[in-house]
Amino acid sequence: MKDVGYRGMGHDAQGNWLMLLHAQCGVVDRGQAESLGFTNSQIRHRVRSGRWQRVHDGVYATFSGPLSREARLWAAVRRAGEGAMLSHETAAEVHGLVDKPVSSDVHVSVVSRRRPLQGKPVHGIVIHRSDQSRPQFPGGSWKLPRTRVEDTVLDLVAAAATFERAYSWIARAVARDLVTVAVLRATLADRSRMRWRSWLTDALEDSREGVASPLERRYVKDVERAHGLPKAERQARRTIGGRTHYKDNWYAEYQVAVEIDGPAYHQGDRADADRGRDNLNLAVDAAQTYRFGPVGVTERACESALLVATTLRRNGWTGTPRPCRRPGCAVARAIPPSRTFLPAPEKILDA
């Protein structure tokens, strides 16, 4: 039960105290408590008696028992002090960019001039110092301060170990309608320092077109574009057997689809159910479908391009694929005539 104050509080102070406890999930810092009339001795007494809990130095939970996730986030923000806001993986969590916490650490950003934990690292809090991100207060200043969605995405991009991981943050944010590519592009332009700036320009356009994962982007970049194949429609919506079905890459004019399967595709009951539904849909679908996994869009990209090009040619495409820059590119060989036997639809190339 949250502490409702003490008898010496005036009516206005007690009302402000209750609003503060409600807004911050029962978490306050020493400065907030003192501004509403608590003395040092009153704070110490409440901690010693067990009515309050000390969460961090100068930060208290005004109740006994475990802290909720949101209360822990408030405690980290209040510990970091002036202008602190949730950022990186933690901001992604509260924005809905991820479905569950990525780690137990709470990531908080402050302006570069501040060093709130200098010489006093706090377990579970990671401080980032930057002047490039701006805060967002959804619903007013009583909500958890966090970096704007667009800044959160670009912060995660800058911190990513690989460009594939960086692209996954962009694709996820755009696919979930949390931010538009136009806003990301404008925010990128405003940043004086940014990793992979030139690559990001192309990646943002791919995301706008519906390229929903790093593996799908590898197909677009290393299979389709590198070999001069026609441009497919991304995440194309089709109704098959009375159900809505989305094709990762749909060459509508030639009735050819290319689906990209990530490493987790075959894991779990949900994946099995999806595969069964897809097979049912494909049974009544006149299109020829190929599924490529990670190897099919990386190590064997040239072979995948040859398969798709051959099928497109058989179905009416009059273009000519070109070899990519890889030595011994399979597409450098002559395209077989239209009667050439092709692998059956749904063949997965990554055995």
Average pLDDT over residues 12-23: 90
| Residue 151 scores a pLDDT above 80 | yes
Give per-residue pLDDT as tens, 58-84: 999 999 999 999 999 999 999 999 889
Average pLDDT over residues 290-317: 94
- The Cα–Cα gap between 321 and 234 comes to 20
The ranges of the chain annotated as CATH 3.40.960 are 214-332
Look over the chain and give the mean of its residue pLDDT values, rounded to a whole number: 85
pLDDT at 265: 36
Average pLDDT over residues 313-324: 93
Looking at the domain that runs over 214-332, which CATH code has it been given? 3.40.960
Q: What is the three-class DSSP state of 211? A: coil
**C-beta of residue 106 within 8 angstroms of C-beta of residue 124:** yes
* The two structure tokens encoding residue 187: 């925010």
Global confidence as pTM: 0.79
> How would residue 217 be classed by pLDDT, with cut points 50, 70 and 90?
very high
Please write down the HEC assignment for all residues of 115-149.
Answer: CCCCCCCCCCEEEEECCCCCEECCCCCCCCCEECH
**C-beta of residue 108 within 8 angstroms of C-beta of residue 127:** yes
* The two structure tokens encoding residue 1: 């039960």
Residue 261: count of CB within 10 angstroms of its CB: 20
pLDDT at 29: 96
Give per-residue pLDDT as tens, 105-142: 999 999 988 888 776 778 899 999 988 888 876 555 56
Residue 243: count of CB within 10 angstroms of its CB: 11
